[in-house]
Structure 1
Amino acid sequence: MTESTVAIHPEPTDFEEHGHQRRLVGWPGRIAMAAALGFSSYQIAVAAFHPFSSLVIRAIHVSFLILLIFLLYPGGKERDKGALPWYDVLLGLAGFSLGFYHLFFEADLIERSGDPNTADLVVATVATILVFEAARRVMGWALPLVCGTFLAFGFFGQYLPEAIAHRGFGFDQVVSQLYLGSDGILGTPTLVSATYIFLFILFGTFLEHAGMIRLFNALALGLVGRAQGGPAKVAVISSGMMGTISGSGVANVLTVGQFTIPLMKRFGYTPVFAGAVEATASMGGQIMPPVMGAVAFIMAETLNVPYAEIVKAAVIPAILYYFTAFWMVHLEAGRLGLLGLPKDQCPNPWTALKENWFLALPLAALVYMLFHGFTPMFSGMMGLALTAILILGAALAARISATALRYVFWFALGLGAATFIRWGIVPVLGVIALLVVVCYAVGGTRRTLHTMRAGLIDGAKQALGVGIACAIVGVIIGVLTLTGAATNFAGFVLEIGEKSLFLSLLLTMIVCLILGMGIPTIPNYIITSSIAAPALLKLGVPLIVSHMFVFYFGIMADLTPPVALAAFAAASIAKAPAMKIGFKATQIAIAGFVIPFMAVYDPALMLQGDAPILAVVYVVFKATLAIFLWGSAAVGYLWAPLKLVDRLVAIGAALSLVVALPITDEVGFAVGALFIVWQWMRGRKMEP
């Protein structure tokens, strides 16, 4: 890469996805670092050896979350963010110790299940309060207030109008439901966080520290950098590739966006459009296989289906989502007359791949294992182990001067890794320990050990937002399970659905978007899927499709104002108003809003049912054409600027392809074809 080549190293930003962490130094920093390393080590041990029962694993997972959050997140607006007050240390240690109550008294808790003693109630009450406070520090007030409303309903719901009231429950029943059993804070979301989610977050951070972001950026630059509107297309492709290893849309904005947003601004895109493109492309990471967002793992556990089934349902919508973003930036570039990057500023993608090819192996191994019957937990653990082996191996290989010997080393390492992975996790951990010792002994390779340590620490920190969201949303699940209140809203959706399925879908979409204004994707999905997805199933929507519908719009909520977290993250880099970025991102993703509706009316779009391959091809072609027309109408440009009547015709044709009523497909295809031919002829006439 020459000196004139665009830099592909992201710079840090002050924006943080979840609250503002303290910048700890000295002994407070060492304490927090030790706690983070302990958290990651515990989770790896759980994945490798499963030393405790499921409920104990969840309880200790929550105890680590509370400890780290009270160490890293201030309770208010402290003047000195680097200070660590004694009371936060005390609260963190108290929360950490409560997690071991299940470990020491597991048998007693089982024996007196449903009849807790005073100590049980005290522990459950204190733990619940600490979870609420930890969630407030990380997520803000919105999610704790929503969960607090459900908690108040559990305590006082018997005094509400008869249509929504319950029979009434005692303090001991509600509190024990929240923490002592497996239906509340320690419920399914926490189980998934303590097993699959943490491993995949750690997997992503290891690849990031190993240089995966630089590889993705170099590949995207080399492949599309010179095309029309190349900088924006680089953002779409790079964010899409980043989405394969990171399930957090905001994290994608803060990593890839550090490179792509300034690049787009430098080559003619407005700061608002640059931020909106990155926000739109990054949010798709949560539905981009193989490593989707945390919701995908919760969905698999909730539906009791293999994770591969969730991936299969998501793959076509994810591709269509990114096609939408790619098409919109192409049209915007054409409208503004923006060209691509100069040749000397685009690295050779094959050279970049040749230099960092080993980084793609863990991802390939992960995909193979997920689609060949291995559990997500085993696949994530082996993917993480393989990443560690390859990072250490790369450091050692760089010390070998002879090319032939280097290839022999890589071949032996790859063969050994594949063999040991087949044998099980213990030999793999032994190989990693041996490589760590060798790297420590060989000069010039100790820096790699610091990289791995940083990956462990960052993985634990990144898991805090997801983990505490999974924990506190258990309050909602516990109350809904105890009171059976979910049936009321489901009945309302069913009542509407008897008249119009579309209105039921529209209501569900609006609920997802409204909830998404204040709470993250995980609790948004859990709440809405608990009350709306069963109703959609009774209306004939396939189970996975109904849950994916809710999931999809929970993600889109991060783009839609007034509270659009991805837009705020992009605004911190683009230096533009977050609200304007949010509205522009909604416009860019507008065609993506119709994909879930199309999947409901034709489940073949999510590869559900026994639809033949031709049916899948047909619905994908129809969706692609609809996106083509939606995008043209939204931007107001195809081969030439569109007049108002042209845009209305395009919208009408696209709607005809979406609504799935008799003869609407035929009308949509006919009008769409005429529109495309007409615009192509207009564009030819306007050429100089």
Structure 2
Amino acid sequence: MQWNAVPDSIRQEIEETRAVPLIYGLGVLISLIHVYFNIFADIAVLQQNIIHFAGFVLLCGLIKPLFSQGIFGLVDKAWVIAIASSALYLLFAEDMIYARGLRLVTLDWICGSIVVLGAIDMTRRTTGWVIPILIVVAISYLAWWGNLIPGVFQFKGLSAETLLFRSLFGDDAIFGNIARISASFVFMFILFGAFLLRSGAGDFVIHLSKGIASKMVGGPGIVAIIASGLTGTISGSAVANTASTGVVTIPLMKNAGFSPRFSAAVEASASTGGQIVPPIMGAGAFVMASYTQIPYSTIVMVSILPAILYFASLVFYVRTESYKLGLTRTMEKGPALLPMMLREGLSFIIPVSLLIVLLVVGYTPTYAAVIAILAVIVSSWFTPNKMGFSAIGDAFALGAKNMVVTAILLCSVGLIVNVIATAGIGNTFSLMITEWSGGNLLFALLLVAMASLVLGMGLPVTASYIVLATLSAPALLQLLANAEFVQVLSAGGLSDEVNAVLMLLGVSPEQGAMGLAQAQSLLSNAPDEMLGLLRPMLLDESQIAVLLLASHLIIFWLSQDSNVTPPVCLCTFTAAAIAKSPPMATGFTSWKVAKGLYIIPLLFAYTPLVKGDWSQALLVFIFAVPGLYAFTLLMQGWQKRRLALWERAAMGALAMALLYPLALPWQLAALVMLLGFIFYWQRTAKLCVA
């Protein structure tokens, strides 16, 4: 068995899996079943989702038993088997339930109840107590206490039979749309990542990062940023990313002179950014594609420039900290890039490149993932770590094992989403956001950011995104559409049909246009019926789809903040444990370093970064890079030397000018001024040295 390029953490995980043949064999079987379902089989989606849930319940019970020995161990195993068996019973019972007019018999009640309770138990084993408590609260809201509360959230309740049926067979239920995403797209990409890891891609990423960053100021920190970003293309978990790359990059940063707290913060921030790096982007991008009905390839393509911006902001922070600490020496020369890429990198570069190409030209994500997996196997034979039958088996087992938490989570969170959809809580919450914000988009974004932070204290990122998108995406879409509506009205060039409607409202635009204030007044005061006539004339379906994507990307990015923001920040705590730094203090440092998670969603809302064509997005990108650098100088107060208070204030003003969509001459002037400051600091630094 060749382990040449397999990282120690992956090697240890594979060896631990092999040590329990039942886990290894079941993992391989589950992976093969999913590959068969997604490529060859033609079965109902519900059946595929039920088998997906049952398989991962069995694997979860083996990996995370409540009791491992004695009578309690036997009881626990029987309970796990009962959950899986009950789910499989429902696979065959569905037609009979419909034939009886949606009436449940005793066995349906027993098996359905076991599945719901089992989902709660398995979620508690994998993610802790928060989601199980939310499930219990949500289900009891539909069944009982929703009728007891006054106001807009009052719900008259459902019968127990209807509640159980909807919890199992509803479109948003435990075996519904989110489970379908888990069983298809998410699993196949997690499996692809497992094949990449088993082929040695993890070590190649570290070597490549060292080769790129070895001659840069702040090289060790930049190694962590590049390595974690690249690992994000093959990993579905920010915490796993932190653990796997952090054991290498954090000691590297500490040895270079960075503090343990800063080293851990950089690694946590970079690993969190791995979740926004195409093509995988965690599981959230697949959920987003399902919610918005926008092609996954489109989501991937528009996410490229924002991801680069985020990692650029981290690089700026590391370099500024390096100058602040006087760590201007470069690292030892890294490996030569071209020979290393030809020797080690083919099994990473070829499959990832092929995957992106297949997505861009229009193949389904599932098909693209399968072809990319085959490409990993073939290309590995041109590297020292050739993948034979044993290595392929390892990858299948590793993929299933890595999927356990995500599969259980995505299935079980359907119970919460089902309640939100059934009771109409999402629409009510969206109306409340619109009302509380007073129609102000910035205030609405602040409310969503606060909600994401609160949810993120107890929910994993993907679950936080799902719940928050269900609750607040309609409100954000409405506010973004209103802003676009006002811009179009004030831009001029209105059609005769639009002018006719405006005349009915007593508005006569001069030369076919109106001022911003007049357009906003029209939006605020015109009857909804007339606005309903105007909107389709001014905003077509493609524009609405783009605004929908922007609203979901805003929520998706803000949902990532729980990884790095106190008081509960799992990525940061993982990195702090490796760095041996204070967890909470490290959390505040990582919150500061990961500022891009809060700035870039503002660009989604106010600029054409994701709402415009490529030329418009590129123009925003060109000015946003120096804008983020200016913001870093404002936060750090240091360039080649400590900045005076007026210089920091100037950096804040220039950052605003470069990031906000001002007229092009103003942004060019701000860019020239920033370059002038940098030239001045460079010159004065040389004079001081001389």
- Specify the TM-score bucket, using the shorter chain as the normaliser: 0.7 to 0.9
* One-letter identity of the residue aligned with 1:88: D
Asked if residue 545 in structure 1 is aligned to residue 534 in structure 2, the reply is no
* One-letter identity of the residue aligned with 1:523: A
* One-letter identity of the residue aligned with 2:48: I
Asked if residue 566 in structure 1 is aligned to residue 571 in structure 2, the reply is yes
Asked if residue 93 in structure 1 is aligned to residue 84 in structure 2, the reply is no
Matches within 5 A, 1:330-479: 330-343=319-332, 346-359=334-347, 360-391=349-380, 393-394=381-382, 448-479=388-419
What is the CA-CA distance between 1:552 and the residue it aligns to?
0.2
Q: Secondary structure of 1:291's partner?
A: coil
What is the CA-CA distance between 1:655 and the residue it aligns to?
3.3
Q: Secondary structure of 2:413's partner?
A: helix
* One-letter identity of the residue aligned with 1:141: W
Cα 1:88–1:186, aligned 2, differ >3 Å: closer, same or farther? same
Equivalent residue number for residue 689 of structure 2: 687
Q: Secondary structure of 2:609's partner?
A: helix
Q: Is the 8 A contact 1:23 1:81 kept in 2?
A: no
Cα 1:554–1:15, aligned 2, differ >3 Å: closer, same or farther? farther
* One-letter identity of the residue aligned with 1:605: L
Distance of 2:345 and 2:314 partners within structure 1 = 27
Distance of 1:526 and 1:113 partners within structure 2 = 32
Distance of 2:339 and 2:409 partners within structure 1 = 41
What is the CA-CA distance between 1:152 and the residue it aligns to?
2.0
What is the CA-CA distance between 1:341 and the residue it aligns to?
5.0
What is the TM-score of this pair, normalised by structure 1?
A: 0.84
* One-letter identity of the residue aligned with 2:188: L
What is the CA-CA distance between 1:531 and the residue it aligns to?
1.2
* One-letter identity of the residue aligned with 2:260: P
Cα 1:22–1:81, aligned 2, differ >3 Å: closer, same or farther? farther
Distance of 2:169 and 2:332 partners within structure 1 = 62
Equivalent residue number for residue 495 of structure 1: 435
Equivalent residue number for residue 136 of structure 1: 124
Cα 1:686–1:173, aligned 2, differ >3 Å: closer, same or farther? farther
Asked if residue 62 in structure 1 is aligned to residue 53 in structure 2, the reply is yes
Q: Is the 8 A contact 2:452 2:558 kept in 1?
A: yes
Q: Secondary structure of 1:228's partner?
A: coil
With 237-246 and 382-391 compared, the bigger mean Cα shift is at 382-391
Aligned residue among 563, 584, 588 for 1:583: 588
Q: Is the 8 A contact 1:279 1:570 kept in 2?
A: yes
Q: Secondary structure of 2:362's partner?
A: coil
Q: Is the 8 A contact 2:440 2:479 kept in 1?
A: no
Asked if residue 41 in structure 1 is aligned to residue 35 in structure 2, the reply is no
What is the CA-CA distance between 1:667 and the residue it aligns to?
8.3
What is the CA-CA distance between 1:81 and the residue it aligns to?
9.5
What is the CA-CA distance between 1:677 and the residue it aligns to?
5.0
Aligned residue among 450, 453, 461 for 1:521: 461
* One-letter identity of the residue aligned with 2:635: A
Equivalent residue number for residue 507 of structure 2: none
Cα 1:23–1:234, aligned 2, differ >3 Å: closer, same or farther? closer
Matches within 5 A, 1:109-258: 109-112=97-100, 114-156=102-144, 157-258=146-247
Distance of 1:15 and 1:299 partners within structure 2 = 34
Q: Is the 8 A contact 1:10 1:258 kept in 2?
A: no
Distance of 1:226 and 1:327 partners within structure 2 = 15
Distance of 2:343 and 2:10 partners within structure 1 = 28
Distance of 2:104 and 2:126 partners within structure 1 = 31
Aligned residue among 588, 598, 605 for 1:600: 605
Percent of residue pairs identical: 29
Distance of 2:571 and 2:418 partners within structure 1 = 30
Cα 1:496–1:681, aligned 2, differ >3 Å: closer, same or farther? farther
Equivalent residue number for residue 322 of structure 1: 311
* One-letter identity of the residue aligned with 1:32: I
Distance of 1:109 and 1:180 partners within structure 2 = 11
Q: Secondary structure of 1:539's partner?
A: helix
What is the CA-CA distance between 1:56 and the residue it aligns to?
0.5
RMSD: 2.8
What is the TM-score of this pair, normalised by structure 2?
A: 0.84
CA deviation profile, 1:608-662 (whole Å, cap 9, x unmatched): 24x461x323311232122011111222211222233322332233234445578
CA deviation profile, 1:199-226 (whole Å, cap 9, x unmatched): 1111111111111011111111112113
What is the CA-CA distance between 1:496 and the residue it aligns to?
3.3
Distance of 1:316 and 1:372 partners within structure 2 = 19
Asked if residue 620 in structure 1 is aligned to residue 621 in structure 2, the reply is yes
* One-letter identity of the residue aligned with 2:59: L
Distance of 1:612 and 1:218 partners within structure 2 = 33
Distance of 2:307 and 2:70 partners within structure 1 = 41
Distance of 2:202 and 2:577 partners within structure 1 = 20
Asked if residue 536 in structure 1 is aligned to residue 476 in structure 2, the reply is yes
Equivalent residue number for residue 651 of structure 1: 652
How many residue pairs get matched? 619
Cα 1:251–1:340, aligned 2, differ >3 Å: closer, same or farther? farther
Q: Is the 8 A contact 2:171 2:177 kept in 1?
A: yes
Q: Is the 8 A contact 2:430 2:471 kept in 1?
A: yes
Distance of 2:294 and 2:592 partners within structure 1 = 34
- Structure 2: state its 5+ residue gaps: 482-546
What is the CA-CA distance between 1:99 and the residue it aligns to?
2.4
What is the CA-CA distance between 1:329 and the residue it aligns to?
0.7
Cα 1:13–1:57, aligned 2, differ >3 Å: closer, same or farther? closer
Q: Secondary structure of 1:137's partner?
A: helix
Q: Is the 8 A contact 1:265 1:274 kept in 2?
A: yes
Q: Secondary structure of 2:433's partner?
A: helix
